[in-house]
Amino acid sequence: TLVTLHHLLAQAEAGGYAVGAFNVSDLNQAYAVMTAAKQQKSPVIVQAIAGVHPYESESWWWRRLRELLVSFPEVEVALHLDHGRTLEDCRRAIDAGFTSVMIDASRVVGTDEPSSFPDNVARTAAVVKLAHELGVSVEGELGTVGGAEATGATLEGLIYADPEQAAEFVELTGVDALAVAVGTSHGSVKFTTPDAKAALKIDLIKQIKSRLPNTFLVLHGSSSIPAAAVEIINANGGNLPASYGIAPAQKAQAVQSGIRKINQGTDSHLVWVAALRQHLADDPITVEPSVIIGAALTGMIEMVAMRMREFGSAGRS
């Protein structure tokens, strides 16, 4: 059943757990997430980023994605736009039947520069006005969660959210959920040293939550970067640098402190590529796609199911 983000996260708030928001880049990955949710009896958020898909047409992809989700009636699922950059991104997602959108106005459009607070507020409030009229939930972002696919973060380079400003931001915009910069970083290249553990500020999550009892807090850039997957990739032709992510135990602490949505893209993609590389290396003869893609699906289903248990959402649906 397709539901809003607000609906799922209100249940999570009452139950004291977090719902995983898993990035999908194609229909196979969406199938993996939904199959894991069905197996684990878990609510789930499936999220897509505008422009990230292998198909010719975004509207074709988004509509097929929505149909795939609806074909699992036993799973409570929100279809969420991840890191929408503009009102137009959000409008297209709403038109395609998304039940939730993120407007990430934390940067000046088309640049890496942090946007001013009033600019972020104005762009976010405009999306809230459009979305709420149509019953769609909105996630905003304050401060910038660092990192990108190819760049790592340093502990010194992190920008943290300010609790006072977070409260003001929610008051002025009316967002349902807020992505908070509390020491995580996006992408497969995260922290270059294991002391990344020091980066995640659990106390800051608690401070923000105490000022925002009615807002759902979101943790971005939270992949763990499992060493086993990186090793398999590198043993089979890959060349990923060493990198340290957010340990599952740290995420569990974040959930205890009030995080209700945890975003994961990279870990799913890592196990997907690891399974593909391993399978292709072990079996040089098979060209049947169902066998090859089947290996990747199995890896991703297991990873997502494990996260649902770790986040406490398994068995809640």
Q: Contact region for Zn ion (CB under 5 A) — 114-122, 196-204, 216-224, 276-284?
A: 216-224
Least distance in angstroms from the C-beta of 285 to Na ion: 41
**DSSP 3-state assignment of 178?**
strand
# chain residues binding Zn ion, by CB under 5 A: 1
Q: Which one of Zn ion, ligand 13P, Na ion, none is in contact with 265 (Cβ closer than 5 to 8 A by kind)?
A: ligand 13P
In the complex, the smallest distance separating the C-beta of residue 291 from Na ion, rounded to whole angstroms, is: 34
C-alpha 128/C-alpha 124 separation (Å) is 6
Q: What is the DSSP letter of 179?
A: E
Strands, DSSP E only, in the chain? 19-23, 44-49, 77-84, 100-103, 137-142, 177-180, 216-219, 259-264
Would you please indicate which residues are annotated as catalytic (active-site) residues? 82
Q: Shortest distance, CB of residue 288 to Zn ion, whole angstroms?
A: 35
Q: How far apart are CA 164 and CA 151, in angstroms?
A: 30
Which candidate, 264, 257, 265, places its Cα nearest to that of 200?
257
Return the number of the residue (41 or 107) whose C-beta is nearest ligand 13P. Answer: 107
Interface residue list for ligand 13P (CB under 6 A)? 23, 82-83, 186-187, 220-223, 263-267
Using CB under 5 A, pick the residue from 53, 220, 269, 316 that binds Zn ion. 220
Q: Which is nearer to Na ion, 22 or 61 (CB)?
A: 22
Asked whether position 82 contacts Na ion by CB under 5 A, the answer is yes
Specify the stretch interacting with Zn ion by CB under 5 A; choose among 117-125, 158-166, 215-223, 245-253: 215-223
Q: How far is CA 51 from the centre of its chain?
A: 16
Which residues contribute to the site for Zn ion (CB under 5 A)?
220
